Amino acid sequence: MENLQTILEAVSAGYITPETARQKIQETGYQSVAEFAKIDHQRQERTGFPEVIWGQDKTSEQIARIIEAMSQHQSVIMATRVETQVYEEVKLKIPHLRYYPTARICALGKPNPQKISGKITILTAGTSDLPVAEEAAITGELMGFPVERLWDVGVSGVHRLLNNRHILDEADVLIVVAGMEGALPSVVGGLAHCPVIGVPTSIGYGASFGGLSALLAMLNSCAAGLGVVNIDNGFGAAILAGQILRTAAKIAAQSK
């Protein structure tokens, strides 16, 4: 509704009819796909990032039709939480679709590099956390950000982290992925001078209760200023990291 004043002046000047103005004001900026989905084409404009398809609990038919509709408006299209079998069904209809199996992401199109300096640095506590970390990494790359990866530096051997301290020192924004007791973000948060995003994972058993243990640990971190996302939500962490870098660039530009 940014152009409201402009539209109104056009009405006042008689360039457009009141009826046309009403339609413009109510213009929705979304596109219906069959009756089951409304693609939010304004999201990129509003939030800086395009709409992304949440693949879980959608049929391959639904995913394919949404991708087709999106492909008329977006240069990069991605769907998260897509199992291999679903990917293969969708690929029958969209042959150029590619798949990142560890990250369970399928994508179409080439990312446009962001026109800002700054990269996303991603750490994992263990090898088992890779699928979530890769979801974050691929998302970041598809959104056009450089991504640095550092895997398996959990707190049971804290020297592995301390000996990579230069990576922490050089980071612009950190995503720290950990399951089980979820302690790594607390240790990192006490060492880093940039924003830290904690991603609890469902890795563990017994009293990990599907990632609850790691989630609670990160929410209760004694390291001030940790931002936490949902269990296994690598995607959300990457979007938050990207949002931070975009904002920093904007402020940096203002400061010049």
Q: Which helix (H) or strand (E) holds 178?
A: strand 173-178
| SS3 at position 32 | strand
Nearest approach in angstroms of CB 220 to a copy of itself is: 4
Q: Identify the residue among 76, 94, 116, 167 touching a copy of itself (CB under 8 A).
A: 116
Q: Is 176 exposed, middle or buried (0-12, 13-18, 19+ CB in 10 A)?
A: buried
Nearest approach in angstroms of CB 50 to a copy of itself is: 10
Which residue in 146, 200, 141 sits closest to 176, CA to CA? 200
Q: Identify the residue among 43, 68, 76, 99 touching a copy of itself (CB under 8 A).
A: 43
Q: Is 60 one of the binding residues for a copy of itself (CB under 8 A)?
A: no
Q: Is 138 one of the binding residues for a copy of itself (CB under 8 A)?
A: no
| Candidates 83-91, 92-100, 103-111, 220-228; binding stretch for a copy of itself (CB under 8 A) | 220-228
Measured CA to CA, the distance from residue 152 to residue 130 in angstroms comes to 9
| Candidates 23-31, 68-76, 86-94, 105-113; binding stretch for a copy of itself (CB under 8 A) | 23-31
Q: Which is nearer to a copy of itself, 96 or 115 (CB)?
A: 115
Angle in degrees, CA 213, 214, 217, rounded to 5:
90
Q: Is 155 one of the binding residues for a copy of itself (CB under 8 A)?
A: yes
Q: Which is nearer to a copy of itself, 97 or 239 (CB)?
A: 239
